[in-house]
Every structure is written in structure tokens, then in C-alpha cells.
Amino acid sequence: MADIESTLNPIFTKIDELKPQFIERLRKAVAIPSVSSDESLRPEVFRMADFLVDELKALNADDITVKQLGKQPPPVADANLQLPPIVLAKFGSDPSKKTVLIYGHYDVQPALLEDGWASDPFALVERDNKLFGRGSTDDKGPVMGWLNSIQAHRELNIDLPVNLVCCFEGMEESGSLGLDELIAQEAQNYFQNVSSVCISDNYWLGTKKPVLTYGLRGCNYYQLTVKGPGADLHSGIFGGVIHEPMTDLIKVMSQLVDVDGTIKIPHVLDLVAPVTEKEEALYKDIDFDVNELNLASGSDTAIYKDKRDILMHRWRFPSLSLHGIEGAFYGAGAKTVIPAQVIGKFSIRTVPDMDSDILNKLVIDYCNERFKELGSPNTFTAELIHPGAYWVSDPFNNEFTAAKLATKTVWGIEPDLTREGGSIPVTLTFEQQLKSNVLLLPMGKGDDGAHSINEKVDVPNYIEGTKTLSAYLHYYSITK
């Protein structure tokens, strides 16, 4: 351990020295509006891939491979829309070293200034020792953190303690289309000999104490389509005399979840594994201030007030959330239109032991039954857009042991072991296809606002997070 600490000290000093360069690297990344869900911005997602390739070249990667994935499958407006590529790179191929695959994504959620941002979401702004910008914490900040770590090692002529394999995708915010297939294809090729996978695409539970994450909820995303008239109609002429698609859709969506978060679809909760006494005991000592939930949400609207209840419903139990209605009028003013077609979107966060196929049948059958009860002549379709499996790991394996040492070295405190309510479906894919353990090593804080307005990463988390990623590689390299 003393040898590792003596190696890490100059690396940490170099990271501090390179702080302005590292912030500038993130600034350039954030400036590219790589929104994967917006077809009009697809060229920007490709531009972000090119940016990563250039950065990897500058860091003297041994091998850079850009995997094209072809056309994006329906539903799409442009039948020729191309999926963003997966950028692969290698640093080192020493057979005496372990090989760690690092995963991240370079696409981001949509963001508009008029949504309520205090500044242009695609211009990194530093305020109060925080870096604001879309992707700053999800996930461009952590991806840049890995590049920062490599640069610090390079400038000091210190060899990386492991062989690194990089896997950066551009469709994570839109279902990671094509990624599962690529991992399966490359399991015995590009990803051969990978002994471990490290992902930094999650967050601390709160704002004061670092964590390591050993579990994630899954996410099954659904849409409901109601089609009626052949074109949008004037409510002054047709209101009250036709069955309106929006009315049908609202009626069905209103029967999915109750105001207290209870899922109203029968038998969904029957799929959930019972909570054991041993599992429940893990929640007792986790450092979590209930008030931080209100601070993170920007409101005092929590359903639960007790730490255990909040964390269990955030990590351990499923939830159903309504996300939006496509095709409906949403702008300013008073447009009296009856939309001809509307598409409602919602998701269910899944947990052990929910079977995705069984869940999908329960959801789709239930929605079809609710629509049938309306007696409407409109057409109705309920469908799964994409599934995402839950994931649970062993928080006491070599990866987590090394990450605990790295976290304590950098932050001076033992991290909490947590699960998360969000989803990273590729976690399970890597674990199954590569037969490797997966570690979730977060950089950002619980109040970073990923997917929300004014997304940010604290400067200390960005810089100390880069140190933590670096230390992890060194500690993991000596585990047996």
C-alpha cells in the first residue's frame, strides 16, 4: 500500500496542476449539443464522437476503433437516420497486467435555455465552484475524468497499472440501441481478456459523503398511441361531436399510477422479491439527510419522510412515472386544436425479481383493457419501446475493495454502499457477456441535477473524482 501511495502522490499533484486544462476539456465537450433523442441534432452526436477520437489520439491510444451501427430502427421520422458510433480504444496490452474496461456515454438529454436554465446549457459556466452545463455530470464529466487520468499518467511517464479498454457510446439516453449486440460480438474479440468493468455514470446519494453503488433499478419504457381523425381539427367545429384521442389517452394514463406513487396495474408488485431482515439492516447506517431530497428536487413534495422509506422506494421498490404526451399542443397561448393522434409515454423502474416479459404482458394487457372500457372508435396501441434490466452485485468483491481504498485515500472517509433508482442497462450486459464483475464508481453529487435544468458538477468532485478513478486503477491492479 505504501508503494501505491508514493506513486499516487505525484499523480494527484499533476491532476491539481492540470486542473485548468481539464476544465477546458469539459468545456469543449459540453459545447457540443449531442442530444441523441433529437433527430435534428444527430450530426452533433457524431461530432461528439469525433471529438472523443481526437482526444484519444492526442493521448496516444494504442488502438482506436470506431464501430458504426447502421440505421436506427423505427420509430424514427427519418428512415435513413444513422445510429451514432461506439468509440473503442485501448491503452496497453501487457499480459502480466489486469485489463479494465471503462464505459461511458457521450450523448446527453435535451436542454433549452427557456426550460429554466440560468445560462446556456451548452456553454460550461463556473459559478460558486460548480461547473454548469448539460452533460457536465451525465456523463461527459466522468468520461473526461478518465481522459484526465490518462493524461496525468502520460505527462509523468508513469505507466498505467492496468491495461485499459475504453467503450464510449452515443445512445445511452435513448436506450443504448446497438450496444448489447456490439458487446456480444466483441466479447471474444476487442473485449477479450477484460477482467473487470468500471462505470462512472451515477452519483453520490447526498452531497457530503462518497458512495459505491452495487445495485440499480431497471427501466422498461412504454408508449400508448391513440389515433382518431384524419387531421388535427378545430374544437369549435368538432368539439363535443367526435371521440377525441387526447381524452381517451388521458383517461387510460390516469389509471396507471396513484398520486401517492402506488402502481395501479394488478400483480406488478407480486413480482417483487421480499425484503429480508439482512437487507433491511443495510439501510440503518447509511448517511442520508431526508432534507437533501427536498433540496435536490427543489420542493417539499416528498411522499415519504423517513430515511428508510425514501431509500427503499428509491432503490428497492418499483415505480411508475408519466413522462409526456407527443402530438399534443404545449406552447404558449390558447390554441384550440383537437390533435388527430397523441402518444403517451411512461416507464416502470424494475427491481429484483421482476421478469421483464411477464411485466410487459401485465402492462400492455391492462392498458388495452382500460381503453376497451371506453367504447371509443379510435384506434389504440400499447407497446414497449425499450426494456432495461435491473442489476445487483457483490459489494465485497475485489473491485469494491479497491474502490473503497481509493475513495478513502482521496476523500479521507469510507464510502457508503448504496443502490440507485436510476438505470444503466449495459451494466448487466457487460457482466453477463464478459463474465466480469462491474463496479459503479460515481463522480458527481446527489444534487447535480442530471436530466434536469442547471445540471452541474462541483469542481472538487470533477478534480478529486479524477484522482479517485486514478487511485482505483492502482489499488485494483494489486488485488488477488
Catalytic residues: 107, 172
To the question of whether residue 25 is assigned a binding role by annotation, the answer is no
Rounded to whole angstroms, what are the CA distances from 477 to 96, 98, 157, 401? 10, 6, 18, 12
Q: Decide if 438 contacts 199 (C-beta within 8 A).
A: yes
To the question of whether residue 7 is assigned a binding role by annotation, the answer is no
Rounded to whole angstroms, what are the CA distances from 281 to 8, 278, 285? 36, 5, 8
To the question of whether residue 423 is assigned a binding role by annotation, the answer is yes
To the question of whether residue 349 is assigned a binding role by annotation, the answer is yes
Single out the residue of 205, 168, 84, 179 nearest to residue 388, CA to CA.
Answer: 179
Peptide bond between residue 353 and the one before it cis (omega within 30 degrees of 0): yes
C-alpha to C-alpha distance for 273 and 250, rounded to whole angstroms: 32
- b/e sequence 21-60, b meaning 16+ C-beta within 10 Å: ebbebbbebbbbbbbbeeeebbebbbebbebbbebbeebe
Which residues lie below 8 Å from residue 352, measured CB to CB, with a gap of 6+?
272, 273, 390, 392
Tell me the backbone φ, ψ of residue 392, rounded to 5 degrees.
Answer: -140, 135
To the question of whether residue 474 is assigned a binding role by annotation, the answer is no
**Residue 317 burial (C-beta neighbours within 10 Å; 0-12, 13-18, 19+):** middle
Which residues lie below 8 Å from residue 46, measured CB to CB, with a gap of 6+?
82, 84, 85, 170
**Residue 425 burial (C-beta neighbours within 10 Å; 0-12, 13-18, 19+):** buried
Q: What is the largest CA-CA distance in the chain?
A: 81
Rounded to whole angstroms, what are the CA distances from 408 to 260, 395, 405, 448? 39, 16, 5, 22
Q: How many helices (H) and strands (E) does the chain have?
A: 14, 18
Strand order in the sheet with 456-458: 125-127, 130-132, 456-458
Rounded to whole angstroms, what are the CA distances from 170 to 45, 78, 173, 217, 355? 7, 18, 8, 21, 28
Tell whether the torsion through CA atoms of 26, 31, 35 and 36 is positive or negative. Answer: negative
Tell whether the torsion through CA atoms of 304, 351, 346 and 450 is positive or negative. Answer: positive
To the question of whether residue 93 is assigned a binding role by annotation, the answer is no
To the question of whether residue 336 is assigned a binding role by annotation, the answer is yes
Annotated binding site: 105, 138, 173, 201, 234, 336, 349, 423, 451
Annotated binding site for substrate: 201, 234, 336, 349, 423, 451
Annotated binding site for Mn(2+): 105, 138, 173, 201, 451
